[in-house]
Chains A and B, each alone.
Chain A
Amino acid sequence: MKSWKLAVACVAISLVMSSASYAAKTDLVLGIVLEPPHLDPTAGAAAAIDEIVYANIFEGLTRIGPKGNVLPALAESWTQSDDGKVYTFKLHKDVKFHDGTAFDADDVKFSLDRARGDKSTNAQKGLFSAIDTVNVVDPLTVKVALKQPSGDFLYNMGWGDAVIVAPESAGTNKDKPVGTGPFKFDSWAKGSQIVITKNADYWGKPALLDKATFRVIPDPAAATAALLAGDVQAFPVFPSYETISQFQADPRFKVVIGTTEGETVLGMNNKKPPFDNPKVRQAITHAIDRKSLIDGAMFGFGTPIGSFFPPHHPAYIDLTAETAYDPELAKKLMAEAGHPDGFKTTLKLPPPTYARRGGEIIAAELREIGIEAEIIPVEWAQWLDQVFKNKDYDMTIVSHTEPNDLNIFSRDDYYFNYDSPAFKDLIKQIDATSDGAERTGLYQQAQKLLAKDVPAAFLFQLPKTGIWDAKIEGLWENGPIQANDLTSVKWLD
């Protein structure tokens, strides 16, 4: 009996004493908040999928770089016909998928036709709508003919949803992704972590890390503890705004606050009274103090926006002054709209912190101009069903995180119910223009039109709050697309 107790004590002590093993310098553990539902970027909208596979496992014809620019990927070069309707892509040679099958023009045709076909379950099927035909010229050349010229085509081909997959593995990519990238899939312990390892046969510049582990940590307090304890060495999108200052003061960590493509808006149902009156929407916009909103809901992280356009884009213009905080003007507009005493309405809030905390602040500010907004918290599934699909809502807060999504305001039957022929016309022109300066001009017209019509109140651009070990180099500062591109990440000695 005595010796048994002694043995247990010894085991317990040795378990506790064997200190945590420190990571070798070629592997990295990253924290992610949401676990992806699966790992096929061509069959799901979840950002968590791209945060693991984009640029690491899967590659497209083109890719989006850290500054949001279009770079060559599997296509080493391309030419455009004079009428702008035919793109000829020259592909890299000696490219292999991770399962050993060769990559060639047939895979490109297969992937694009699959994404735009009748049976497609691609979450961004619209990206491919401009394509008329895809033709294989020879194993290393593909011709893509468009129905009409599209200024966004090369950008669209850089999305995670447009990556090239092989017919042999397309059906099983959800569970066992097979791409052409510098990393290959290793293992997935569901609910816990996903491991990718270096692809030794990569066709391009090899990865600098041997192994990367994505660990799922949904709780903000746990995320803080995991970084502090060294269990994870990088949190590219850190979820706990309230503890960021603690890391800023700690020399072991680098805190990098960048921008994203997430325009956060107070969406309003433009066809439902009283929001069908532009004066009411303008009044609401002027009643919101963006600074107190960002300070209160986001602990100061976030850039105010006055229209639906990311501040880091070259064509961005700052329109926050046009819709600045001015409660007196707001009250006047309410009176002009026939609601001097305000009205009662509802505000449906999805789960993210920016919406739930931001909603409280906005509801309080709207009370100042007589609007009583009842807060209704909803889950994502309910939000998509009630607000997004059935448009059964008055106001809501949501961040539109897709890149290049100015055109959502031109869509028929979109949840804003904004129906502006002038705006639709602008979007049509933008899409048909490839000239840079001309596009910039059109983008700015569109931004101004939205700031005037306020189909939604434009609040702030979501920040990308990255925290990682000070000895790590090569992680993205900004999030032009939702990805954790690890291709040039390394440990400094």
Chain B
Amino acid sequence: MSNEHIDEISGITTTGHEWDGIKELNNPLPRWWVITFYITVAWALAYTIAYPAWPMLSSATRGVLGFSSRNEVKNEMAAADAAKAKYVTAIQSKTVSEIAADDTLREFAVAAGGAAFKVNCVQCHGSGAQGSTGFPNLNDDDWLWGGKAEQIQQTITHGIRFAADADTRQSEMTAFADVLKPEQIAQVSAYVASLSGPVKDKSLIEPGAKVFADNCAACHGENAKGNRDLGAPNLTDAIWLHGSGEAAIAAQVRAPKNGVMPAWVGRLGETTVKELAVYVHSLGGGE
């Protein structure tokens, strides 16, 4: 066996490898190519010294440049905060209605409030703020405690029926199970249901209206339009927090559920509460 493999045509030695008569010429590499290759090797080694790389027993080498991705995140967060500072300062110094009226600030507040909402509010109000039975839908135009930006801000700041906050929105519907007779409850439920839709037994409406005037009008108003100072809902519209229909109304009359919302200012701070108020106000039902 000879080690001299020489290609007849080019006169260049071959590697001796042959595939279907095709031989591989053994041309030397260009010198610059080889040098470049060694430079990349050196670069790679230097890189592993400069940056965290080599795995050790418990962690990895830290690199002489002191780079860490956590610091980078910290710096980027700081840069983002600095970039936001202008808007945050403006939000702190303005009222929520002023913020809602300013295109740039509203856009910023809606984005920030939306993010805060996704973390703190969706558990009860739903990811689209659409609510569910017992938890109000924040997209609609029916507000228990008022739908102006300032009123929403007040609600978020101090909560509803939240014992730990002295300024919380406070009211409580009486349980009428012991006050009214069962037939009176049926009558008043039929009357209330009739205000926004058809009922099965129309004969109950008239006595129900009398029961309502005697027992309910004080809070819900003579025309049952509700009273926002007391958080008493409007009973003539299509929106029912605790369910629509006579049965659901009767259940609420007998043993009312009085929902509780915590005060958020202590946990989120005033700026975020303002942003949340602007966000909720922007959902479509704001007044």
Q: Note whether A and B form a binding pair.
A: no
Chain B residues at the A interface, C-beta cutoff of 8 Å: none
